[in-house]
Amino acid sequence: MESSTAWLNPTWAFALPIAASFPLGWLMARLLDVPTNRAGKGIDAIPMFVCRLIGKKTPEAMSWKQYAYAMLAFNAALFVIAFGLLYFQQSLPLNPDDKGSLATLGYKDAAGLAHDGADTAVIFNTVCSFVTNTNLQHYSGEQNLSYFSQIGSIVWLMFVTPAAGLCVMLATLRGLRGDRDLGDFYVDLMRSLIFVLLPLALVLAVALVGLGVPMTFGPATKAITLDGAATKVETQAIARGPVAALVAIKQVGTNGGGYFGPNSTHPFENPTPWSGLLELASIPLLPMASIIMAGYLLRDRKHSLVIFGVMLTLLLVGCVIAILAEVQPSAATLGLPVHSGPNMEGKEVRFGPVASATWAAITTATSNGSVNSMHDSLNPIAGMVPMVLMMLNVVFSGIGAGFENMLMYIIVAVFIAGLMVGRTPEYLGKKVESKEVKLAMLALLIHPLVICGGAAIFAATSWKAFVANPGAHGFSEILYEFTSAAANNGSGFEGLADNNPAWNIATGIVLLLGRFPALIFPLAVAGSLATKKRVPQTTGTLRTDNLTFAGMLLGTVILVGALSFMPAVVLGPVADQLTSPAKP
């Protein structure tokens, strides 16, 4: 067991974002939900000025369908532009190390044969990944991307895609409180970028530069190795670049994609204990603040605190389980003449198992996906925790997306409560009827369908040849990859060869199905409820601002999650734990 000082990391990792989320949530509510008659006045003149540059002089009153169409059209444009930038990066500026097109990245097929020809599937997967705010990476950034691609494609998408999720949350909240006008997607987008993501990322980037994270457009450094100095001159290319800019928005925007292949285990992305704590605390900040913002927009702060409390409970429980499992020795070392201690496989010595397990829980709960250790090396139960948090996908899971996902569980919870008492269910003073329940169930069923369906196909066909490990752990690697893609997370067990057409295309499709239905269905529910008359509250009305509802919501999440994923989890990490060598 590690010393008690190791537990300072998870303590501060929770305390800092929780404390900062309350004032930030209040500020976001003031800056992002601007009444039409105050648009462009005061500080809101800044985003409206930018909107006028693109031809939008005044905010448009959009219905939920118009808002959804605008969001989809914007993302389609992002897809086309980003695809072109990555395909033609060899012809674009800021390429001092002469990186070729990402389409020329080689891969191995199921038979282990190498292919060096052009493969646009990896570009398709990468663009799907970053357009959906997932950042699943089947490439290594420092090896395959130019500085222009890192900034002009990857970092740019890291800003606008979480902003798009926050916009959909804003529109959903307006519909839930009864507004027929759900706002203007493009105006909300500019406000989210200018007032929230840009300032937070700038502050974090400056702090990271001060802590030693590189920020340069110079080429890779040529260093003379120690053994080369003793015999003959041997040089090693040390990759660098505009790292701080990417790492800042990677964490603040719940993106997770690293500048370097090893992500936040790399000393250039995470050089000191202070940078580690600062980056870790930044991950849940905006997902937490967005829930606090919801209370102000709905004019029901107690209800938002109930949602916040349920999410926090699930995260705390998951984090504790992961830490307790990871401070146990690895089964691979049992019976060997080595010191028996916490599992250090796949970890930075400077972080250790407690900080690594904490990061693993927080990054998967929040749909971030950055890592400071290799999740494939976690003990089976510790590895199960991030997998389960992504399967539930409601634990502060992303900026805006976390509330959207939880809203579907709320609709199911109030529906179940209505059945129990023989009363038409209500939510925020509006009757919840068959249309809303059907939409909620569709949103909830798509998630396990794409995860379990994809994992089943790859485990039952020749595509399982891409998995390096046999048995339950190999199945866990397949299951984790599809879970990460569907939950818009992006982390991976990485014990499989995922850069090939089969994995790139399959996970690319899952990335799209995991993102856009999860945003559109809650928006449709809010649009439907916005058209209904508010019913008076009576003694039979289900309150949504007390511990009773918190328990009901928590139970609904766990019950639906268990029914959806329990068999897959048993076949994967649970079986991996049960078949691990026992202590002698």
Contact present, 523 and 172 (Cβ < 8 Å): yes
**Bigger pLDDT: 167 or 119?**
167
Asked whether the predicted pLDDT for residue 7 surpasses 80, the reply is no
**C-beta neighbour count of 381 within 10 angstroms:** 18
Asked whether the predicted pLDDT for residue 530 surpasses 70, the reply is yes
Cα four-point dihedral sign 534, 168, 490, 478? positive
What is the model's pLDDT at position 138?
Answer: 86
CA distance 398 to 135: 12
Mean pLDDT of the chain: 89
Share of the chain above pLDDT 90, in %: 62
Burial class (CB in 10 A: 0-12, 13-18, 19+), 378: buried
Asked whether the predicted pLDDT for residue 20 surpasses 60, the reply is yes
The model's pLDDT over 138-182, given as tens digits with 9 standing for 90+, comes to 888 888 888 999 998 999 999 999 999 999 999 999 999 999 899
How are beta strands 426-427 and 235-238 bridged, if at all? unpaired
Residues near 540 by Cβ (< 8 Å), separated by ≥ 6? Answer: 421, 423
CA distance 516 to 139: 24
**Bigger pLDDT: 574 or 540?**
574
CA distance 447 to 515: 10
Mean of the pLDDT values across residues 279-302?
95
Half-sphere exposure of 81 (CA within 13 A, CB side): 13
Contact present, 170 and 187 (Cβ < 8 Å): no
Q: Which two tokens stand for residue 311?
A: 């999410």
Per DSSP, 150 falls in state: I
Task: Kindly calculate the radius of gyration of the chain based on its CA atoms and give it in whole angstroms.
Answer: 24
What is the model's pLDDT at position 234?
Answer: 67
Three-state SS for 349? coil
Report the number of secondary-structure helices (H) and strands (E) in the chain: 22, 6
Share of the chain above pLDDT 70, in %: 94
CA distance 179 to 411: 19
CA distance 553 to 558: 9
What is the model's pLDDT at position 1?
Answer: 42
Contact present, 378 and 342 (Cβ < 8 Å): no
What is the model's pLDDT at position 232?
Answer: 56
Q: How confident is the model at residue 492 (pLDDT cuts 50, 70, 90)?
A: confident
> Residue 475 — left, alpha, or beta (φ > 0 → left; ψ -120 to 50 → alpha)?
alpha
Asked whether the predicted pLDDT for residue 111 surpasses 80, the reply is no
Residue ranges in 132-211 assigned as alpha helix (H): 141-144, 147-148, 156-176, 185-192, 198-210
CA distance 104 to 120: 8
Mean of the pLDDT values across residues 243-255?
94
Residues near 83 by Cβ (< 8 Å), separated by ≥ 6? Answer: 123, 124, 127
- Give the dihedral of Cα atoms 471, 472, 477, 478; nearest 10 deg: 80
Nearest CA to 414 out of 561, 552, 301, 554 is that of: 552
Q: What are the structural domain ranges in the chain?
A: 4-578
The model's pLDDT over 201-228, given as tens digits with 9 standing for 90+, comes to 999 999 999 999 999 988 888 887 776 6
What is the model's pLDDT at position 233?
Answer: 58
Q: How many residues in total does the chain contain?
A: 584
Asked whether the predicted pLDDT for residue 118 surpasses 60, the reply is no
Contact present, 166 and 290 (Cβ < 8 Å): yes
What is the model's pLDDT at position 380?
Answer: 92
What is the model's pLDDT at position 66?
Answer: 96
CA distance 202 to 63: 34
CA distance 260 to 124: 20
What is the model's pLDDT at position 501?
Answer: 85
The model's pLDDT over 24-37, given as tens digits with 9 standing for 90+, comes to 999 999 999 998 88
CA distance 146 to 101: 9
CA distance 123 to 570: 34
Asked whether the predicted pLDDT for residue 513 surpasses 90, the reply is yes
Asked whether the predicted pLDDT for residue 344 surpasses 80, the reply is yes
Instruction: Quickly tell me which residue has 């066909």 as its tokens.
Output: 461
What is the model's pLDDT at position 583?
Answer: 53
The model's pLDDT over 374-389, given as tens digits with 9 standing for 90+, comes to 988 899 999 999 999 9
Residues near 245 by Cβ (< 8 Å), separated by ≥ 6? Answer: 151, 155, 201, 205, 215
Contact present, 123 and 102 (Cβ < 8 Å): yes
Mean of the pLDDT values across residues 513-533?
94
**Bigger pLDDT: 198 or 235?**
198
**Bigger pLDDT: 9 or 48?**
48
**Bigger pLDDT: 119 or 524?**
524
Asked whether the predicted pLDDT for residue 71 surpasses 70, the reply is yes
Asked whether the predicted pLDDT for residue 372 surpasses 60, the reply is yes
Mean of the pLDDT values across residues 518-542?
89
**C-beta neighbour count of 148 within 10 angstroms:** 16
What is the model's pLDDT at position 109?
Answer: 59
Mean of the pLDDT values across residues 240-254?
93
Three-state SS for 117? coil
